[in-house]
Structure 1
Amino acid sequence: MSTFLFRIGRWSFAHRRIVLAIWLLVAVVAIGAATASGGKTNDNFTIPGTESQRATNLLSERVPELSGGQTQLVFAAEGDGRIVDTRQRDAIETSIQNLKAVPQVAVATDPFHGGAVSPDGTIGLGSVQYSVQPGSVDASTLEDVKKAVEPAQAAGVHVAYSGSVFPGWNAAPSETPEIVGVIVALIILLITFGSLIAAGMPIITAILGILITIMSVTALAAVVDVATASTTVAIMLGLSCGIDYGLFVLYRHRNHVLRGMDPQDSAALSVGTAGGAVVFAALTVIIALCGLSVVGIPFLAVMGLSAAGAVLVAMLIALTLLPAMLGFAGPHIVRFPGRPRRLHARLERTAHTAATAPEEHRGARWGAFIVRHRVPVLFLGVLLLGLLALPATHMRLGLPSGSSQPTSNTQRQAYDLITEGFGVGANGPLLIVADHVTDKSQTDQLVAALGTLPDVAAVQPLTMANDVSVIQVTPGSGPNDEATTSLVHRIRGDRAAIEGDTGAAILVGGNTASNIDVSAKLSSALPVFLIVVVGLAFLLLTFAFRTFLVPLKSVLGFLLSILAAFGAQVAVFQWGWGQHLFNIEPAETVSFLPIIMLAIIFGLSSDYEVFVVSRIKEDYTRTGEARAAVVRGMSHSARVVTAAALIMFSIFVAFMFTSDATIKAIGFSFAIGVLLDAFVVRLTLVPAVMAIAGGRIWSHPRWFRRLPDPDIEGKRLEHAHGS
Structure 2
Amino acid sequence: MHRRRWVVLVAAALLTILGGAWGSGVFDKLTQGGYEDPTSQAITAVKTADAALGRQNGDVVVIYEAPNGGSIDDPALGQKINDKLKELPSSEVSRVVSYWMIPDPAMRAAFADTGHKRGLAVITLTAGDDSNKMLRAYEKIKDKLAVDGVTSQIGGFAPTGAAINTSSQNDLITAELVAVPITLLLLVLIFGGLVAAALPVLVGGLSILGSLGLLNLLTSFVEVNTFAVNVASLLGLGMAIDYGLFMVGRFREELATGREPKDAVRRTVATAGRTVAFSATLLVIALAGLLLFPQGFLKSVSYGGMAAVAIAALVSLTLLPALLAVLGRKVDALALPWRKRAATKSVEEEGRGWRKLGLAVMKRPLLFAVPIIAGLLLLGTPFLSASFGEVTEKVLPAGNPARVTAETLNRDFPSVSKDAAQIVLQGKDGKAPDQAAVQKFVGEVGKVSGVTNVQPSGAGKDVVTLTAKLPGDVLSDQAKNAVKEIRNLTPPTDTKVLVGGISARVLDSLNAITAGLPWMVLVIVGATLVLMFLAFGSVLLPIKAVVMSALSLSATFGVLTWVFQDGHGADLLNVTPGPLEAGIVVLMAAVVFGLSTDYEVFLMSRMVEAKSKGASNEEAVATGLARTGRVISSAAVLLIVVTGAFAFAEVTMMRFVGVGMILALALDATVVRMLLVPAVLKLMGNAAWWAPGPLRRLQQRVGIQESDDIEENPKSQAPQPVR
TM-score normalised to the size of structure 2?
0.90
TM-aligned CA distance change 1:156 to 1:536, over 3 Å = same
Task: Give 1:40 deviation, angstroms.
Answer: 1.0
| Range with greater deviation from structure 2 (693-702 or 362-371) | 362-371
Q: Distance in 1 between matches of 2:343 and 2:432?
A: 80
TM-aligned CA distance change 1:606 to 1:156, over 3 Å = same
Contact persistence 1:575–1:586 (CA under 8 A):
yes
Q: Distance in 2 between matches of 1:36 and 1:660?
A: 22
| Range with greater deviation from structure 2 (36-45 or 684-693) | 36-45
TM-aligned CA distance change 1:500 to 1:542, over 3 Å = same
TM-aligned CA distance change 1:93 to 1:447, over 3 Å = farther
Q: 2:393 — aligned with what?
A: 402
Q: Distance in 2 between matches of 1:37 and 1:427?
A: 31
Q: 1:126 — aligned with what?
A: 121
Contact persistence 1:83–1:89 (CA under 8 A):
yes
* 1:155 matched to 2:149: yes
* 1:567 matched to 2:551: no
Q: Distance in 2 between matches of 1:479 and 1:633?
A: 52
From 31, 38, 42, the counterpart of 1:42: 31
| Range with greater deviation from structure 2 (399-408 or 288-297) | 399-408
* 1:18 matched to 2:14: no
From 521, 524, 528, the counterpart of 1:533: 524
From 279, 283, 286, the counterpart of 1:285: 283
Contact persistence 1:418–1:424 (CA under 8 A):
no
TM-aligned CA distance change 1:444 to 1:349, over 3 Å = farther
Q: 1:329 — aligned with what?
A: 327
Q: 1:107 — aligned with what?
A: 95
Supply the AA of the counterpart residue of 2:554: L
Q: Distance in 1 between matches of 2:37 and 2:158?
A: 15
Q: Distance in 2 between matches of 1:77 and 1:385?
A: 56
Q: Distance in 2 between matches of 1:718 and 1:693?
A: 33
Q: 2:720 — aligned with what?
A: none
Deviations along 1:139-195, one digit per CA (max 9) or x if unpaired, are 4532344323211xx334241413365453422512111222222221221121101
Q: 2:709 — aligned with what?
A: 716
Q: 1:357 — aligned with what?
A: 349
TM-aligned CA distance change 1:59 to 1:289, over 3 Å = same
Q: Distance in 2 between matches of 1:243 and 1:683?
A: 21
From 30, 44, 47, the counterpart of 1:54: 44
Task: Give 1:572 deviation, angstroms.
Answer: 1.2
Task: Give 1:98 deviation, angstroms.
Answer: 3.9
From 62, 70, 88, the counterpart of 2:59: 70
| Range with greater deviation from structure 2 (109-118 or 378-387) | 109-118
SS, match of residue 478 in structure 2:
helix
Q: Distance in 2 between matches of 1:291 and 1:266?
A: 36
After TM superposition, list the pairs within 5 Å mapping 1:358-397 onto structure 2.
Answer: 358-360=350-352, 362-397=353-388
Task: Give 1:404 deviation, angstroms.
Answer: 5.0
Deviations along 1:409-453, one digit per CA (max 9) or x if unpaired, are 223312332343245993423322222253783665554544444
SS, match of residue 647 in structure 1:
helix
Task: Give 1:25 deviation, angstroms.
Answer: 3.9
Q: 2:435 — aligned with what?
A: 441
Task: Give 1:130 deviation, angstroms.
Answer: 2.3
SS, match of residue 506 in structure 1:
strand
Supply the AA of the counterpart residue of 2:474: P
After TM superposition, list the pairs within 5 Å mapping 1:479-490 onto structure 2.
Answer: 479-490=474-485
Q: Distance in 2 between matches of 1:424 and 1:669?
A: 38
From 462, 465, 468, the counterpart of 2:463: 468
Regions of 4+ moved over 6 Å? 35-39, 718-723
SS, match of residue 207 in structure 1:
helix
Contact persistence 2:134–2:158 (CA under 8 A):
no
Supply the AA of the counterpart residue of 1:149: L
Unaligned runs of 5+ in 1: 1-11, 338-343
Contact persistence 2:200–2:241 (CA under 8 A):
yes
Contact persistence 1:104–1:137 (CA under 8 A):
no
Q: Distance in 1 between matches of 2:190 and 2:24?
A: 39
Q: 1:508 — aligned with what?
A: 499
SS, match of residue 576 in structure 1:
coil
SS, match of residue 609 in structure 1:
helix
Q: Distance in 2 between matches of 1:354 and 1:510?
A: 65
Q: 1:252 — aligned with what?
A: 250
* 1:493 matched to 2:488: yes
Contact persistence 1:16–1:328 (CA under 8 A):
yes
| Range with greater deviation from structure 2 (106-115 or 597-606) | 106-115
| Range with greater deviation from structure 2 (72-81 or 307-316) | 72-81
Q: Distance in 2 between matches of 1:36 and 1:173?
A: 13
From 513, 521, 534, the counterpart of 1:522: 513
Deviations along 1:239-258, one digit per CA (max 9) or x if unpaired, are 11111111111111011213
Q: Distance in 2 between matches of 1:78 and 1:643?
A: 60
Q: Between Structure 1 and Structure 2, how many residues are aligned?
A: 697
SS, match of residue 137 in structure 1:
helix
Q: Distance in 2 between matches of 1:148 and 1:591?
A: 37
Contact persistence 1:70–1:127 (CA under 8 A):
yes
Unaligned runs of 5+ in 2: 718-723
Q: 1:232 — aligned with what?
A: 230
Task: Give 1:70 deviation, angstroms.
Answer: 1.9
Supply the AA of the counterpart residue of 1:74: I
Contact persistence 1:205–1:317 (CA under 8 A):
yes
Contact persistence 1:134–1:165 (CA under 8 A):
no
* 1:637 matched to 2:628: yes
Q: Distance in 2 between matches of 1:84 and 1:357?
A: 84
From 587, 590, 593, the counterpart of 1:599: 590
SS, match of residue 464 in structure 1:
strand
TM-score normalised to the size of structure 1?
0.90
Task: Give 1:484 deviation, angstroms.
Answer: 1.6
Deviations along 1:433-489, one digit per CA (max 9) or x if unpaired, are 222253783665554544444433434434333322333333343321222212211
Q: 1:146 — aligned with what?
A: 142
SS, match of residue 499 in structure 2:
strand
SS, match of residue 550 in structure 1:
helix
Contact persistence 1:44–1:225 (CA under 8 A):
no
Task: Give 1:500 deviation, angstroms.
Answer: 2.7
Q: Distance in 2 between matches of 1:314 and 1:135?
A: 30
CA RMSD of aligned residues (A): 2.8
Deviations along 1:108-137, one digit per CA (max 9) or x if unpaired, are 221353322123223434322223225133
Supply the AA of the counterpart residue of 1:133: D
Q: Distance in 2 between matches of 1:694 and 1:273?
A: 26
SS, match of residue 273 in structure 1:
helix
Q: Distance in 2 between matches of 1:142 and 1:549?
A: 57
Contact persistence 1:194–1:351 (CA under 8 A):
no
Contact persistence 1:295–1:522 (CA under 8 A):
yes
Q: Distance in 1 between matches of 2:647 and 2:415?
A: 28
TM-aligned CA distance change 1:82 to 1:649, over 3 Å = farther
Q: Distance in 2 between matches of 1:349 and 1:87?
A: 83
Contact persistence 2:146–2:152 (CA under 8 A):
no
Q: 1:9 — aligned with what?
A: none
After TM superposition, list the pairs within 5 Å mapping 1:693-708 onto structure 2.
Answer: 693-708=684-699
SS, match of residue 470 in structure 1:
strand
Supply the AA of the counterpart residue of 2:316: A
Supply the AA of the counterpart residue of 2:368: V
Contact persistence 1:104–1:130 (CA under 8 A):
yes
Deviations along 1:550-606, one digit per CA (max 9) or x if unpaired, are 111101101110000110110111112222221111011111122212211111111
